[in-house]
Structures are given as structure tokens and as C-alpha cells.
Amino acid sequence: MTKLPHLRWFIVTTLLVASGLSFFDRQVLSVLAPVITRDLRMDNVAYSWVVFAFILAYSVMFTVGGRMIDRLGTRRGLGFAVGIWSLASLLHSVAHSALGLGFFRFLLGLGEGGCFPGAAKGVMEWFPKKERATAMGIATSGGSALGAVIAPPVVAWAALHVGWRGAFLITGFLGAVWVMVWVSTYSLPRDSRLLSDGERRYLAQAGEGLLAAAPSAKITSPVPWRALLSLREVQGLVTSRFLFDPVFYFYMFWIPQYLSQVRGASLERIGQLTWIPFLTLGVSSVFGGWVSDRLVERGWALDKARKGILRAAALLTPVSILAVFVQRTETAILLMSVLMFAHGFWITNYMTLIGDLFPSRVVATVVGLTGTAGGIGGFLTSLVIGRVVQHISFTPVFIAAGVTYPICVTILLRAIKEIKPIEIQVAGPI
């Protein structure tokens, strides 16, 4: 079989496409929300329940999906997850009521909950620490931003040419193609038939066990939930994500509604503008990982590099509050992009420090726990946002979003005294 040069970067590119598809698929609804809500006769409150259905399933399956991927392995677990959400995307095309749309969004969330635990685990399995932040930025935040960037113009174009139902059919088909590529190419480095001799030597020289033999059954026993949740570091990660994930959900699901209802933007104009903050996110996600890796390479302690970037990103986010007070829509988009720029640096280093702290066998589970916490925060706030924007305005929501990250960085720094590997006991009930 033909060997692939630099296979680990092919793997991370495949993961980038997966996370890109996950955000593309969920963005289809938000971009087309003005059209779909009119077609299905939904108001902001009904729309908030549809958003709630997705985030509820997504948040539950983040933890369940993470555990599933730790048990089944990255190849089978992530392939199954993408297959489920691709089917759900196809089914959106037959929705004829808010209830039906909400059910298909729930199914979409069930599949997408496994995406980021799987992507994070894939990076951990293939990359040494000196490249891990860059790879994590590409595979998770970079991919999600790519999907969010491409979605607005492509979805708006597709809706104008094949209708909003046709747009959902396209996304489902793309997911099916990805699954076929994934299952035919991914395996652990030690088992890969595509790994070149040169790259095998490179991974071996890293000295981090990337080519080690399969661990014993005792080691692969599930770590008890109680053991993980009792850790101060896990508590800080979970609490902070409960607070900051709703900000990202707001930007993803409500900005097209804001532009339409407050600034009078057409569907075409929404397609022209809403990709900009997410392009900023994509660039900063990869750049934030690269900067972190370079600081470590130049002699910075891992703890200092990761935490320094988290602090700087958090202090930048309050600038975004000005978005609701400026007159020009383009200026408002620019100010929203500031928050997305900061979020890119933030989320890449947040995800990477999970890998820095925890052994590979529980990375997907810990990522899943944090994602569930973020999802719970997201679906609770989605219902609040629906009522706030319906009866007050978008202004209180933008203010809350702008002050969230400084609160979160304080929580993280108090919980994680030093970024270093944590020893976890595996004995006890699941």
C-alpha cells in the first residue's frame, strides 16, 4: 500500500474537515433562520426552542460521545458520530413544522456531540507535545471556524438556487463522503499501513509513547466519573466552559437574527457579512496554537505559555460590547470579530491544556464533560436569549458576552495551579 508522507498532517486535515462539517451543518439553520422561521411561521421564542433541542442533545452527547470514543476508539467512534449527524442533516429537508425541525435538530446534536472529543483524541494519538497546540487549533477551532466561514455565503447561495431544503441535502451528502474517507484511512500510528518509515522514526524519537503497544485491559478500564469530577482542575474546566460556551452559541445561532431584525439586513447581506467573524476565529485559532507552541519551543514553561495566552484573550473580549452601540453594520461586524479573534486564541489553548493535563485514555471523556457543561449553559441561555431579544433587545446579551471571558480566566487560573500531567486512579465504580 502506498505510504502517505506527513501522515499526521493528513490526519489533522481530515479532522479539520470533520469539525468544519459539524459547524457548517449547524450553521445552515442559523443562516437560513429568517427564511425558515417565516416559512414555518415561527417567532423568536419558537426558534429558541429549536436551538434548545440541538444544544440539549449536543451537550448530553458531548460526555456520552467522549466516553464512547474512549471505549470504541477514535476511528469507529468518530465515524459513527459523523454518520449520525449527516443523516440528521438530510432529514431537515423534510421538516414542515417547528416540532419536526426541533426533532431533527435534536438528532443532529446527538451526532455532533462526539465530534470534538474525537478530534481532540485524534490529535493526542498522533502529535507530540511540541506540535500539539498547533494541531489542536487546526483540528478543532480552525475546522469549526472554516465551516462557519464557508456556511453563510454557500448556504445563502444554495438557498437562492435550490431552496433551504436543498441546502440541508447538500450537507448530509458531504458528511457521508467524509465517513468513507475516514474509515479507510485512520488508525493508531502503531497500526497504520499508510505511515512512512521516516515519519515512524520521527514519532519514535519524540519519546512520548505514540507508537507504544496497546495498553493492558486494566489501564483501559473506564475512569470513574467521580474520580474525574473530584479533581479541582476538572471542576475549573467544566465551570468555565459552562459560562463561555453560551457566548459562542449566541454568535453562531443569533447573529443572523440580529442583523435581520435590528439592522434590516437581507438574506444576501447576511451571507456577505456573517462569515467575517468566523474567518477571524479560524485564523486566530491556528495562530493561537502556533504562538503557544513557539513560546514553549523558545524555552517558556508550558504553564506560562498557555496561561499567558488565555489571560490576553480574555482581556480583549469586552471590546465587543461596542457592537450594539455603533451605527454602521460593518463596524458592528468588525467589533464582533474582535471577540471571535480572542475566542480563537482562548479555545485552542483551553483544549490543548486538557491534553497537557490528562492521559490520552481519558482526554475524550474530559473534553466531553466540558462540552456537556458548555451545552447545558448554552441551552439554558438560549431560552433566556429568546425572551430577552423578544421583549427587551439584543443589548443585554452583547454586554453579558463581553464580560464572560475575564470571569472565566479567573476561574481557570484558580483551579489550575500548574499545567502538568495529572495521575488518575482507575479503581472504583464507573
Please compute the mean of the pLDDT values over residues 281-285 and round it to a whole number.
81
CA nearest neighbour of 348 among 376, 313, 379, 377 = 313
**For 243-279, what is each residue's pLDDT tens digit?**
999 998 888 777 887 887 787 777 777 777 777 887 8
C-alpha cell recorded at residue 417: 495551579
Give the pLDDT confidence score for residue 335 in this predicted structure. Answer: 92
C-alpha cell recorded at residue 406: 475575564
**For 210-240, what is each residue's pLDDT tens digit?**
776 555 444 455 677 777 888 898 999 999 9
Name which residue leads in pLDDT, 67 or 2: 67
The answer to whether the Cα torsion of 368, 409, 414, 416 is positive or negative is positive
**For 40-65, what is each residue's pLDDT tens digit?**
888 777 877 887 788 788 778 877 77
Q: Which residues pair with 195 in a beta bridge?
A: 4
Domain ranges in the chain are: 7-185+231-415
pLDDT of residue 369 exceeding 70, the answer is: yes
Which residues make Cβ contacts (< 8 Å) with residue 132, sequence separation at least 6? Answer: 123, 124, 293, 352, 355, 356
Give the pLDDT confidence score for residue 222 in this predicted structure. Answer: 65
How far is residue 131 from each of residues 119, 123, 290, 297, 360, measured CA to CA in Å? 15, 10, 8, 10, 16
For 7-185+231-415, CATH number out of 1.20.1250.20, 3.30.70.260, 3.30.70.1230, 3.30.70.20 equals: 1.20.1250.20
DSSP string, 30-91: HHHHHHHHHHTT--HHHHHHHHHHHHHHHHHHHHHHHHHHHHH-HHHHHHHHHHHHHHHHHH
Please compute the mean of the pLDDT values over residues 29-37 and round it to a whole number.
76
Single pTM value for the model: 0.68
Which range has the worst mean pLDDT, 121-135, 174-188, 391-405?
A: 121-135
Q: What is the mean pLDDT of the chain?
A: 81
Any idea what DSSP says for residue 212? P
**For 91-103, what is each residue's pLDDT tens digit?**
887 878 888 888 8
